[in-house]
Amino acid sequence: MKTAEIMANLAAKHPGENEYLQAVQEVLESIEEVYNQHPEFEKAKIVERMVEPDRIFTFRVTWVDDKGQVQTNLGYRIQFNSAIGPYKGGLRFHKAVVPSMLKFLGFEQTFKNALTTLPMGGAKGGSDFDPVGKSNDEIMRFCQAFMTELWQCIGPDQDIPAGDVGVGGREIGYLYGMYKKLAREYNTGVLTGKGATWGGSILRPEATGFGALYFTQHLLHKAGKDIAGKKVALSGFGNVAWGAATKAKELGAKVVAISGPDGVCEIPEGITDEMIAYMLEMRASNRNKVEDMATKFPGKAKFTAGKKAWSIPCDIALPCAFQNELSEDDAKELQKNGCWCCCEVSNMGCQPGAIHYFQNNGILFAPGKAVNAGGVATSGLEMTQNASHISWSAKEVDEKLHFIMESIHEQCVKYGTQPDGHIDYVKGANIAGFMKVATAMLEQGII
Q: Is 376 near ligand GLU (CB under 6 A)? A: yes
Q: Is 110 near ligand GLU (CB under 6 A)? A: no
Neighbours of 173 (CB within 10 A): 17
Q: Is 349 near ligand GLU (CB under 6 A)? A: no
Q: Is 124 tagged catalytic?
A: yes
Residue 197, CA distances (Å) to 188, 200, 242, 391, 420 in order: 11, 7, 22, 10, 51
Q: Is 164 near ligand GLU (CB under 6 A)? A: yes
How far apart are CB 240 and ligand GLU at their closest, in Å?
Answer: 8
Residue 427 DSSP class: H
Q: Which is nearer to ligand GLU, 363 or 377 (CB)?
A: 377
Q: Which is nearer to ligand GLU, 123 or 331 (CB)?
A: 123
How far apart are CB 154 and ligand GLU at their closest, in Å?
Answer: 12
Q: Is 347 near ligand GLU (CB under 6 A)? A: yes
Q: Is 116 near ligand GLU (CB under 6 A)? A: no
Q: Is 139 near ligand GLU (CB under 6 A)? A: no
Q: Which is nearer to ligand GLU, 108 or 291 (CB)?
A: 108
Residues 388-427 that bind ligand GLU (CB under 6 A): none
Residues 264 and 303: beta-carbon distance below 8 Å: yes
Q: Residues 256-275: x/- map of binding to ligand GLU (CB under 6 A)?
A: --------------------
**CA 78/CA 437 separation, integer angstroms:** 17
Which of the ranges 10-18, 67-75, 85-93, 402-410 carries the binding residues for ligand GLU, by CB under 6 A? 85-93
Residue 393, CA distances (Å) to 186, 335, 398 in order: 23, 41, 9
How far apart are CB 3 and ligand GLU at their closest, in Å?
Answer: 25
**CA 175/CA 163 separation, integer angstroms:** 11
Query: In sequence order, what are the beta bridge partners of 161?
Result: 89
Residues in the chain: 447
Q: Which is nearer to ligand GLU, 46 or 245 (CB)?
A: 245
Which of the ranges 231-239, 264-272, 278-286, 374-382 carries the binding residues for ligand GLU, by CB under 6 A? 374-382
- Close Cβ partners of 108 (under 8 Å, ≥ 6 residues apart): 23, 122, 347, 348, 368, 369
How far apart are CB 223 and ligand GLU at their closest, in Å?
Answer: 25
Name the residue among 77, 416, 49, 64 with its Cα closest to residue 219.
416
Q: How many residues bind ligand GLU (CB under 6 A)?
A: 11
Q: Which is nearer to ligand GLU, 94 or 112 (CB)?
A: 112
Q: Is 385 near ligand GLU (CB under 6 A)? A: no
Residue whose CB is nearest to ligand GLU in the complex, by number: 90
User: For the CA atoms of 424, 428, 429, 434, what is the dihedral angle to 10 degrees?
Assistant: 140
Residue among 88, 103, 112, 124 flagged as catalytic: 124
- Close Cβ partners of 13 (under 8 Å, ≥ 6 residues apart): none
SS (H, E, C) 270-332: CCCHHHHHHHHHHHHCCCCCCHHHHHHCCCCCEEEECCCHHHCCCCEEECCCCCCCECHHHHH
Q: Is 81 near ligand GLU (CB under 6 A)? A: no
**CA 24/CA 434 separation, integer angstroms:** 12
Q: Which is nearer to ligand GLU, 23 or 264 (CB)?
A: 23
Q: Which is nearer to ligand GLU, 111 or 425 (CB)?
A: 111
**CA 35/CA 3 separation, integer angstroms:** 11
Residue 180, CA distances (Å) to 67, 154, 188, 372 in order: 28, 12, 9, 30
Look at strands 122-127 and 231-234 and give their pairing: unpaired
How far apart are CB 207 and ligand GLU at their closest, in Å?
Answer: 8
Q: Is 321 near ligand GLU (CB under 6 A)? A: no
- Close Cβ partners of 329 (under 8 Å, ≥ 6 residues apart): none
Q: Is 106 near ligand GLU (CB under 6 A)? A: no
The correct pick among 53, 75, 86, 89 for binding ligand GLU (CB under 6 A) is 89
The correct pick among 375, 416, 428, 433 for binding ligand GLU (CB under 6 A) is 375
Q: Residues 184-223: x/- map of binding to ligand GLU (CB under 6 A)?
A: --------x-------------------------------
Helix 169-183 vs helix 136-150: angle between axes, to the nearest 10 degrees?
Answer: 40
Vertex 316, ends 314 and 322: CA angle to 5°? 105
Q: Is 121 near ligand GLU (CB under 6 A)? A: no
Q: In what helix (H) or strand (E) does residue 70 lie, and over which residues does it extend? A: strand 70-81
Q: Footprint of ligand GLU on this chain (CB under 6 A)?
A: 88-90, 112, 162, 164, 192, 347, 375-376, 379
Catalytic residues: 124
